[in-house]
């Protein structure tokens, strides 16, 4: 049976594609307050501001391309069963060719009904406006998991992580829960890697190799190694 690699990605993997991370210096949460743009309360208070924040992100995403790290992960599928669990709302893993992707925090290029969360639509272009409605006539919101909301894909992501032979974390500060807790669900004997230029030590995690470098350089090298292993 093919070994199962679970790749857990954060904003750092898309940094070299030109998408800002959240918590690095110059990151998005320095320019915007989370409570103004990324909570259900913000949406109640000022829909236009929230829509504009995500419209700007979406507009920028349309000009960005996957980088060598996204492509390398897609290449792993030649030899391994691969599941990508991403905190990112961009679609760069999809565009690089990965086929099994779980978006824990939603998807920037999709909109969701405020009346029925199961009604999810692709957004054509970059703009979601006040007055854009679902088929039930309710305002559409960004298909994003905001702070204070449940993470609907968390149980699935946890189950998949428990099946990992190899667990690779790329470009995440591991500060946002519950996503950051996934590493604790990887089997003790699984091989683990953490790729991040600012990686902190995780002393309580067994079989962990830390690669302190940028994703577009480190990930292709790691993938080459895994493909010949």
Q: How many CB atoms lie within 10 A of CB 37?
A: 24
Q: Which of 88, 84, 87 is nearest to 99 (CA)?
A: 84
Residue of 32, 105, 143, 188 marked active site: 105
Residue nearest to ligand OAD (CB): 12
CB of 139 to ligand OAD, least distance (A): 20
Nearer to ligand OAD, 79 or 158 (CB): 158
Footprint of ligand OAD on this chain (CB under 6 A)? Answer: 10-12, 15-16, 21-24, 27, 38, 87, 105, 145, 171-173, 175-176, 196-198, 214-215
Residue for token pair 């949460």: 29
Provide the minimum distance between the beta carbon of 149 and ligand OAD in the complex, in angstroms, as a whole number.
8
- How far apart are CB 198 and ligand OAD at their closest, in Å? 4
Residue among 115 and 180 whose Cβ is closer to ligand OAD: 180
Output the CA angle 24-38-179, nearest 5 degrees.
65
Toward ligand OAD, which CB reaches closer, 55 or 172? 172
**Least gap, CB of 11 to ligand OAD (angstroms):** 4
Q: Would you say 3 or 29 has its CB closer to ligand OAD?
A: 29
Closest to ligand OAD by CB, 160 vs 170, is 170
112: exposed, middle or buried (C-beta count within 10 Å: 0-12, 13-18, 19+)? buried
**Residue 49 Cβ, how far from ligand OAD at the closest point, in Å?**
15
Q: Is 105 a catalytic residue?
A: yes
Tokens of 34: 């989370």
Q: Which residues are catalytic?
A: 105
């Amino acid at each position: 049976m093919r070994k199962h690699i679970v790749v857990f990605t954060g904003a750092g993997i898309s940094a070299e594609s030109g998408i800002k991370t959240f918590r690095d210096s110059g990151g998005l949460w320095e320019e915007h307050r989370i409570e103004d743009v990324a909570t259900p309360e913000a949406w109640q208070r000022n829909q236009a501001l929230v829509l504009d924040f995500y419209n700007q992100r979406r507009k920028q995403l349309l000009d960005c391309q996957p980088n060598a790290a996204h492509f390398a992960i897609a290449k792993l599928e030649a030899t391994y069963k691969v599941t990508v669990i991403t905190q990112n709302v961009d679609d760069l893993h999809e565009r690089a060719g990965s086929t099994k992707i779980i978006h824990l925090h939603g998807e920037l290029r999709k909109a969701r009904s405020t009346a029925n969360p199961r009604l999810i639509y692709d957004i054509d272009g970059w703009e979601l406006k006040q007055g854009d409605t679902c088929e039930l006539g309710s305002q559409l919101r960004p298909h994003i998991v905001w702070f204070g909301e449940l993470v609907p894909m968390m149980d699935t992501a946890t189950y998949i992580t428990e099946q990992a032979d190899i667990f690779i974390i790329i470009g995440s500060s591991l500060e946002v829960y519950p996503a950051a807790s996934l590493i604790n669900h990887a089997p003790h004997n699984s091989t683990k890697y953490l790729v991040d230029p600012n990686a902190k030590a995780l002393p309580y995690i067994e079989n962990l190799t830390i690669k302190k470098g940028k994703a577009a350089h480190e990930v292709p090298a790691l993938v080459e190694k895994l493909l010949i292993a």
